Amino acid sequence: MPTAVVDLFCGIGGLTHGLELSGLQVMAGIDIDPSCRYAYETNNNAAFIEADIERLLSDEIKRFYPEGAIKVLVGCTPCQPFSKYTQRYRKNGQRGNKWSLLYSFAEKINDINPEIVSMENVPELSMQSVFGDFQEVLVEMGYHIWWDIVYCPDYGVPQRRRRLVLLASLLGDIALIAPQYSPETYLNVRDSIGSLPPINAGQASKYDLLHCSAQLSEINLERIKQSRPGGTWRDWDESLKLSCHKKESGSTYPSVYGRMSWDKPAPTITTQFYGYGNGRFGHPEQNRALSIREGAILQSFPKDYAFVPPGAPIVKRELGIHIGNAVPVNLGKAIGISIQRHIGERKTR
């Protein structure tokens, strides 16, 4: 019996790509943002469907599952409070509760009745009533549920990202596979981006135009020159410090304008990772912020993942949102392996 997956809120395909690497067949990815189409379809063997999940009929999703297949429905619902991604959905009709997309996900599960469900999200969701409501729907339908806050380095993601992962199955107990890495073997910044050719701030590599870094102002160039890996803005000359840093309230933000350390996993890659002042996103050695390609690699996308059509402009803000909001590929792969093993165990019983 074949297994078929549909990925809701698929974005540029981080989860889909990980599931495909695990051996699962993804039939389609659905997202409201048309700018995700090129990256999704170019790198994955699945169709991209531009649609609003809140308005898309469940029967339209059902048609992607071959007759007799084990149905898997997955999704990373964009629930980050006040995030640009969430605001984009609101502009397309969403005006109420910021968590309502998760209720839409639950409605689709209720209509489609997939054998297996997976949901990945921000850890803060676990403290919201909507998460309890989501689980209640699954329990009433007979699903066995597992969920936890997952530390991504445990699964080969070279960044200190934590995510909520939920797995549910009508076939029996299910869980995420055990961690595949330990603190001694975590992939670090050097492992991930150490071999990329050096570039200057405001420049791009001739070998890969996505290996491009944002321009730095003269004062920020002086600041990063005085920054050391793992250090803080406190290492700078007094004349370079921002006025907000000199206030008592600014003393609790030591990571902004910081350099990453070669031999540790990167900090969480946000949607603004390409900006030196937005976190500890300074390159460990070169006087610049992370390039777009480096941010993608630290999200465990393959080094050759195509994000824009050849010759198209590279818009850092848009790519930052796409990459920062993506499910890390290697976490997606771990989810896929977990589903594969779960199905295999049920077939042998």
> How far, CA to CA in Å, does 42 sit from each of 12, 205, 304, 327?
10, 22, 11, 17
Q: Parse the chain into domains and list their residue ranges.
A: 3-178+328-347, 189-325
Residue written as token pair 């050695």 = 285
Does CATH place domain 3-178+328-347 in 3.40.50.150?
yes
Catalytic pick among 10, 76, 79, 152: 79
Longest dimension (CA), the chain: 70
Report residue 292 as tokens. 């777009």
Q: What is the pLDDT of residue 335?
A: 98
Global pTM value: 0.91
Q: Is 79 part of the annotated catalytic residue set?
A: yes
pLDDT tens, N- to C-terminus, the chain (349 residues): 799 999 999 999 999 999 999 999 999 999 999 999 999 999 999 999 999 999 999 999 999 999 999 999 999 988 654 343 343 444 444 444 567 899 999 999 999 999 999 999 999 999 999 999 999 999 999 999 999 999 999 999 999 999 999 999 999 999 999 999 999 999 999 999 999 999 999 999 999 999 999 999 998 898 888 888 877 767 765 656 666 655 555 455 566 788 899 999 999 999 999 998 888 899 999 999 999 999 999 999 999 999 999 999 999 999 999 999 999 999 999 999 999 999 998 876 6
CATH of 189-325, one of 3.40.50.2300, 1.25.60.10, 2.60.40.10, 3.90.120.10: 3.90.120.10
Note the pLDDT of residue 86. 43
H or E, element range at 110? helix 100-112
